[in-house]
Amino acid sequence: MKTKEEVRVTQIHFDVEEVRKDFPVLHQQVNGHPLVYLDNGATAQKPLQVIEAISDYYRRYNANIHRGVHHLSQLATQTYEDAREEVRSFLNAKETAEIVFTSGTTDGINLVANTYARMVLRSGDEVLISAMEHHANIVPWQMICEQTGAILRVIPISDDGEWIMDEALNMISGATKIVSVMHVSNALGTINPIEKIIEAAHAVDARVMIDGAQALPHFEVDLQQLDCDFYVFSGHKISAPTGIGILFGKKELLQKMPPWKGGGDMIKEVSFAKTTYAETPLKFEAGTPNIEGAVAMAEGIRYWRKLNHHELQLHEQSLLEYATSELMKLPGMRIYGRAKHKVPVVSFLIDGLHPYDVGFILDRNGIAVRTGHHCAQPLMDFYGIPGTVRASFAFYNTHQEVDLLIKALKQAIKMLS
């Protein structure tokens, strides 16, 4: 591990204090202490540019889209579709027809489970997930397997929180129809080797969905290079509002999939005898969408893309290394998830202390962390624990905030031991 000074030299070129000026929520006190926000895995804070984009929408061109000939509707429609193009470019998808607006990662996974999976799965077919998945990538597949007679199989993991790749690859066979796994673990921070899984799945003509909710806040993703079939993420993880997200799907698959929800804007013609549907992506976007969410998500993406990603990743990695090093100096410290490749997430327990009690004392010191099972109960069962304390960092966090975390944890140990 690097020393404190070595770590701070690493990120000297990333001006985190300048970046923090764009995030008004960070400049407040909680319980008489400066806010230290370390719950970025749950949701990221929003820069002024995103906040102003929402305000600008409601001040200047609030109108419904795709249906009006008046000026405000035309402006709203153009801005909404410009947002779709921004997402396409961000992910390097081939065309905007492959970008479906959803309410978030969970909605995107459920859409695919209830359309593509229902269309292709038969009794005895297999759906493959992993032991570290978020509930959003477990429950929909359990439900669809119960309804179709398909079998849900689970990639095992090591104590370090990594897929056991030999077993994972051996589990992929001619019976495998769908593989749905997370790019990055929300509970452990593990960056999974999804490229190997995608290649193996395609070799047996299986389709692959990737949950990218925890990946995109930390590094760039090129979907044409990855060649996965579906990719989902939530806007609020990348400094956009809640209630907006993306399902990417290869166009040839989206064209074959039936709509999931019926209503306005997803149709060509409606009669009592028959309804014909719009082309992708609109056939999956029934009803009035989260227009301001899409506009603000595009602004959040623009903000993120303007940052120097090489320096950002060095900064985040230095935060992870420094936090890990300092945490391990505390008595009774156990860190869960020691993968070789991680984003800046540290999940831990302190012997004899309940995570909720630790979280409460941290909050009294102005420090926001997540405590509990992190919507990954099977993963917690694997480790034989009820949950952890999770400190998840973003590019706007600082090494001084790590110091404040450590100081508060020492207080918790003294009070609770």
* Catalytic center residues: 375
HEC sequence for the chain: CCCHHHHHHHCCCCCHHHHHCCCHHHCCEECCEECEECECCCCCCCCHHHHHHHHHHHHHCCCCCCCCCCHHHHHHHHHHHHHHHHHHHHHCCCCHHHEEEECCHHHHHHHHHHHHHHHHCCCCCEEEEECCCCHHHCHHHHHHHHHHCCEEEEECECCCCCECHHHHHHHCCCCEEEEEEECECCCCCEECCHHHHHHHHHHCCCEEEEECCCCCCCCCCCHHHHCCCEEEEEHHHHCCCCCCEEEEECHHHHHHCCCCCCCCCCEEEECCCCEEECCCCHHHCCCCCCHHHHHHHHHHHHHHHHCCHHHHHHHHHHHHHHHHHHHCCCCCEEEECCCCCECCEEEEEECCCCHHHHHHHHHHCCEECEEECCCCHHHHHHHCCCCEEEEECCCCCCHHHHHHHHHHHHHHHHHHC
Check: CB of residue 180 under 8 Å from CB of residue 127.
yes
Find out whether 332 and 35 touch, Cβ atoms under 8 Å. no
3-state secondary structure 83-140: HHHHHHHHHCCCCHHHEEEECCHHHHHHHHHHHHHHHHCCCCCEEEEECCCCHHHCHH
